[in-house]
Amino acid sequence: MTPTTPVDVLIPTFARPAGLAVTLAGLAAQVHPSLRIVVSDQADDEATSSGSPAVRAMVRVLEAHGREVETHRHLPRRGLAENRDFLLRLARAPYALCLDDDVFIEPDLVGRLLAALRYAACGVVGSAVVGLSHRDDVRPNQQAIEFWDGPVRPERIEPASAAWDRHRLHNAANLEHLRLARPGDHDRLYRVAWIGGCVLYDTAKLRAAGGFDFWSELPEQHAGEDVLAQQRVMARFGGAGLFPSGADHLELPTTVPDRSVDAPHVLRRLVPSS
């Protein structure tokens, strides 16, 4: 494949016009040339999200630089898993970047993720988001990192297992502190429990693992749908995090305040043995 390999960027959004505009600005600055951006907006009032002046301005910038942008009003709301399922059904590129509407990515990140995923030949590689408001909050007890020094292999990650605790590495600004402490490590893959906010999939492998087809088994208010989808892919095809990250969290208030239904816990039976 050439460096112009198409990537579809799939963005679910709800009532975050400022965050969505910043996310689109990061995509406009990407050096990877072949991006198609697909936004699924579930705001009741279009003006509170994809129809806001800032978002419309960034769409014009993207289109002026040759990026295709599709914005869909997708109602009624039936939960994030259903919205992600809708977006995946619209994907047509061989790679799909699931990007949240509160993440700013560095200009080379799509290219780095694509190179890493193709090199590893696994199902998913992601950049965990960094909360830079925690730059002075150093947590050495959460900074253990397990690099993949050989091939990325399938893993089944169980809740409450030792591997599940890997998620602590993605808290606060732990990855930023590690980046500063390990300047010689670049574009290395590491073992994860899951990655939130910025995840590149091999589209065919995501679909083969079921994608987000479990959405109908969840109530509208749920969390962890991205975790469950990743863990299904990782169990069949393997997955990894990319170090250093290159994805910054805007740290906006959550749009899912009720997180009592956590998909990887209530639907853990859907993750196959690796």
Residue 40 maps to a domain? yes
Query: Can you list the alpha helix ranges (DSSP code H) found in 75-108?
Result: 80-90
Residue 34 maps to a domain? yes
Which helix (H) or strand (E) is 227 found in, with range?
helix 225-237
How far out from the chain centre does Cα 51 lie? 23
Residue 181 maps to a domain? yes
Look up the pTM and report it: 0.96
Q: In the numeric block, which tokens belong to residue 2?
A: 């050439």
Q: In the numeric block, which tokens belong to residue 114?
A: 């694509």
Residue 133 maps to a domain? yes
What are the tens digits of pLDDT across the range 206-246? 999 999 999 999 999 999 999 999 999 999 999 999 999 99
State the pLDDT at residue 2: 55
Residue 241 maps to a domain? yes
Q: What percent of the chain lies above the pLDDT cut of 90?
A: 93
* Average pLDDT of span 124-152: 97
Q: What percent of the chain lies above the pLDDT cut of 70?
A: 99
State the pLDDT at residue 45: 85
What are the tens digits of pLDDT across the range 3-31? 679 999 999 999 999 999 999 999 999 99
What are the tens digits of pLDDT across the range 76-122? 999 999 999 999 999 999 999 999 999 999 999 999 999 999 999 99
Residue 139's domain comprises: 7-270
State the pLDDT at residue 71: 96
Q: Residue 120: give its domain's CATH number.
A: 3.90.550.10
Distances in Å between the Cα of 147 and the Cα atoms of 171, 242, 248 are 18, 10, 21
Residue 192 maps to a domain? yes
> In whole angstroms, what is the distance from residue 128 CA to residue 192 CA?
10
Domain count, the chain: 1
User: Is a pLDDT exceeding 90 seen at residue 74?
Assistant: yes
Residue 2 maps to a domain? no
Residue 1 maps to a domain? no
What are the tens digits of pLDDT across the range 57-68? 999 999 999 999
State the pLDDT at residue 48: 80
Q: Are the CB atoms for 154 and 238 separated by under 8 Å? A: yes
Report the Cα–Cα distance between both ends of the chain, in Å, rounded: 28
